[in-house]
């Protein structure tokens, strides 16, 4: 039978503690896309092959996604602040090593190590927010800021990557993590309070099955983007992932202290929120991946201009993080999520009109603004739905599942939409090839986004509000 430590005292400076945790979340998400605009320079300097270059992005997302569940439950058991600090330290050291890399192998190895650190720190960010900010309305505002960091961080990554690559070199996109990582460790050690933790044994069989299963799925989907859906490695990876995850569920049903409590999915609204954290990023990743190519190959944008082009989206997400918490108690999560999903569908549908002559105003600016408004409105209520009623002892696991769904959605979406792009553009050449493939990919993304709308319609009309307390406190 598990026992918990005594409740931790409240943070002396909760605002500073929150800022420290949110900075970490932005840093972790930013590194998913920060290297995108720097890939040509990396390839030229380190001699990556055309197919090997994708591992600069994939190595981080593969390890990050594969270890998130383990990181979430480990934080619950061994101390969230302890794992948070350790993860940030590993991530920071790996960023320094990556910036110093003198070969393709060492850069990929550093990105793998970054993924390990991110998976350790990531789930604890959400759990630390819910335990540090205890007043319901303030917690809702904090979770909204977390959403803005998670959703807007992808766009900010392109901006930061463009700035640093244009002004310095691709190495600066990794070095920039070092001072921020050191500052986070110093501030978190002083101002972030260690929440109560459950003294229990880690579910090692579940940890192994979840890590291998998610890793195999992520690898299979990533390989599908380059090798096709019928390639032996793709089929083997996807099949192995599905089998391992099925066994994982069986193990979790029989385990007394599971890595991923299946009770997290017992609540209808929470299960639907998890599903939308899969579908939403799945649809959105097409925009980051394809529009950066469109801007640089057909629009004549440089890395810096490409990063700034995504400002409308990032600004809308961050702006709504201040507004949505005021609207949520009044309208409830269903109305806001449905509205946000409609805006996302509209933005992606607009992008299906791309042609080689499409100008930034309004052809790109408009869809980017709609996507930013949609993401900020659709995803903020999901964090509240997931975390507002979860037991404190399961907060890390709940955060790990949330980020796992987001990471898997990102990876699966990119693989599916790149494959759609390749099939649609096979018969065309030049600029027409790019826009033809993108039209098909954005059409598929709009269909996926429609799935988020259908899921949002299943939410209860009132749902979870800022006033709802965690189960253990009622």
pLDDT digits (tens, 9 = 90+) for 8-37: 445 557 788 889 999 998 898 888 778 877
Q: Residue 4 belongs to what H/E stretch?
A: strand 3-4
Q: Look at the block and give the residue holding tokens 């005594």.
A: 6
Q: Apex CA 215: angle with CA 199 and CA 252, to 5°?
A: 40
Count H helices, E strands: the chain? 16, 2
pLDDT band at 7 (very low <50, low <70, confident <90, very high): very low
Q: Are 159 and 310 in contact (CB under 8 A)?
A: yes
Q: Look at the block and give the residue holding tokens 């380190």.
A: 46
Q: Are 84 and 124 in contact (CB under 8 A)?
A: yes
Q: What gap in Å lies between CA 112 and CA 66, rounded to an integer?
A: 11
Q: Are 337 and 460 in contact (CB under 8 A)?
A: no
pLDDT exceeds 70 at position 179: yes
Cα-based distances in Å from 43 to 266, 292, 309, 413: 47, 17, 24, 25
What 3-state DSSP class applies to 259?
Answer: coil
What's residue 434's pLDDT?
A: 83
Categorise residue 359: left if φ over 0, alpha if ψ from -120 to 50, beta otherwise.
beta
Cβ-based burial of 189 (10 A; exposed 0-12, middle 13-18, buried ≥19): exposed
Cβ-based burial of 286 (10 A; exposed 0-12, middle 13-18, buried ≥19): buried
Q: What gap in Å lies between CA 31 and CA 157, rounded to an integer?
A: 6
What's residue 198's pLDDT?
A: 62
With CA atoms as reference, report the closest residue to 202 among 117, 76, 87, 83: 76
pLDDT exceeds 60 at position 472: no
Phi and psi angles of residue 94, each rounded to the nearest 5 degrees, phi first: -65, -35
Q: Residue 186 belongs to what H/E stretch?
A: helix 177-191
Phi and psi angles of residue 470, each rounded to the nearest 5 degrees, phi first: -60, 150
Q: What gap in Å lies between CA 51 and CA 240, rounded to an integer?
A: 23
Cα-based distances in Å from 330 to 55, 135, 143, 318, 336: 45, 18, 17, 20, 10
What 3-state DSSP class applies to 3?
Answer: strand
Q: What gap in Å lies between CA 123 and CA 260, rounded to an integer?
A: 12
DSSP string, 234-282: HHHHHHHHHHHHHHHHHHHHH-SS-SS-GGGGTSHHHHHHHHHHHHHHH
pLDDT exceeds 60 at position 60: yes
Q: Are 304 and 37 in contact (CB under 8 A)?
A: no
Contacts of 24 by beta carbon, 8 Å cutoff, 6+ apart? 84, 88, 121, 125, 184, 188
pLDDT exceeds 90 at position 331: no
In 3-state terms the chain splits into helix, strand, coil percentages (rounded to 5) of 80, 0, 20
Contacts of 16 by beta carbon, 8 Å cutoff, 6+ apart? 187, 191
User: Among the listed ranges 112-121, 203-212, 222-231, 290-299, which one has the minimum average pLDDT value?
Assistant: 222-231
Check if CATH label 1.20.1250.20 holds for domain 13-202+259-473.
Answer: yes
User: Token pair of 165, please?
Assistant: 């690559």
Cross-strand pairs, 199? 3
All structural domains of the chain with their residue ranges: 13-202+259-473, 203-258
What's residue 50's pLDDT?
A: 61
Which stretches of 388-429 are DSSP H helices? 395-424
pTM: 0.80
pLDDT in tens, 198-212: 666 677 788 889 888
Q: Are 381 and 336 in contact (CB under 8 A)?
A: yes
What's residue 340's pLDDT?
A: 95
Q: What gap in Å lies between CA 173 and CA 156, rounded to an integer?
A: 12
Q: Are 25 and 122 in contact (CB under 8 A)?
A: yes
pLDDT exceeds 90 at position 387: no
First vs last Cα of the chain: how many Å apart?
A: 22
What's residue 289's pLDDT?
A: 77
User: Token pair of 208, please?
Assistant: 């192994």
Q: What gap in Å lies between CA 363 and CA 217, rounded to an integer?
A: 35
pLDDT exceeds 80 at position 155: no
């Amino acid at each position: 039978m598990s026992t918990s430590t005594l409740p931790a005292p409240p943070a002396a400076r909760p605002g500073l503690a929150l800022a420290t945790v949110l900075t970490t979340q932005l840093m972790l998400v930013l590194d998913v896309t920060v290297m995108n605009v720097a890939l040509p320079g990396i390839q030229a300097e380190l001699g990556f092959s055309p197919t090997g270059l994708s591992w600069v992005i994939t190595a981080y997302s593969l390890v990050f996604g594969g270890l998130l569940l383990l990181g979430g439950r480990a934080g619950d058991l061994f101390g969230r602040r302890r794992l948070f600090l350790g993860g940030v330290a590993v991530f920071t050291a790996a960023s320094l090593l990556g910036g110093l890399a003198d070969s393709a192998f060492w850069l990929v190895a550093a990105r793998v190590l970054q993924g390990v650190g991110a998976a350790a720190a990531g789930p604890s960010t959400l759990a630390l927010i819910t335990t540090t900010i205890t007043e319901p309305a303030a917690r809702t505002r904090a979770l909204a800021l977390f959403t803005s960091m998670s959703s807007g961080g992808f766009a900010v990554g392109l901006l930061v990557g463009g700035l640093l690559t244009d002004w310095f070199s691709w190495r600066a996109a990794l070095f920039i993590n070092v001072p921020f990582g050191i500052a986070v460790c110093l501030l978190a050690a002083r101002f972030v309070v260690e929440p109560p933790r459950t003294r229990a044994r880690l579910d090692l069989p579940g940890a192994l099955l979840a890590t291998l299963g998610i890793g195999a799925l992520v690898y299979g989907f990533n390989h599908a983007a380059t090798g096709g859906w019928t390639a032996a490695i793709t089929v083997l990876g996807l099949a192995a992932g599905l089998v391992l995850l099925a066994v994982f569920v069986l193990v979790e049903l029989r385990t007394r202290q599971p890595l991923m409590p299946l009770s997290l999915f017992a609540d209808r609204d929470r299960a639907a929120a998890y599903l939308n954290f899969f579908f939403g990023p799945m649809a959105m990743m097409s925009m980051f991946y394809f529009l950066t190519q469109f801007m640089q190959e057909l629009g004549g944008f440089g890395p810096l201009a490409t990063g700034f082009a995504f400002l409308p989206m990032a600004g809308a997400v961050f702006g709504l993080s201040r507004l949505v918490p005021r609207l949520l108690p009044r309208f409830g999560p269903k109305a806001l999520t449905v509205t946000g999903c409609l805006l996302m569908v509209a933005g992606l549908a607009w992008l299906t009109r791309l042609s080689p002559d499409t100008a930034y105003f309004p052809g790109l600016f408009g869809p980017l603004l709609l996507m930013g408004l949609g993401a900020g409105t659709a995803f903020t209520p999901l964090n509240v739905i997931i975390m507002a009623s979860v037991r404190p002892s399961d907060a890390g696991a709940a955060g790990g599942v949330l980020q796992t769904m987001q990471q898997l959605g990102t990876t699966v979406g990119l693989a599916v939409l790149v494959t759609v792009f390749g099939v649609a553009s096979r018969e065309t050449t030049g600029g027409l090839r790019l826009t033809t493939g993108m039209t098909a990919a954005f059409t598929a993304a709009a269909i996926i986004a429609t799935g988020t709308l259908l899921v949002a319609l299943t939410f209860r009309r009132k749902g979870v509000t800022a006033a709802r307390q965690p189960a253990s406190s009622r």
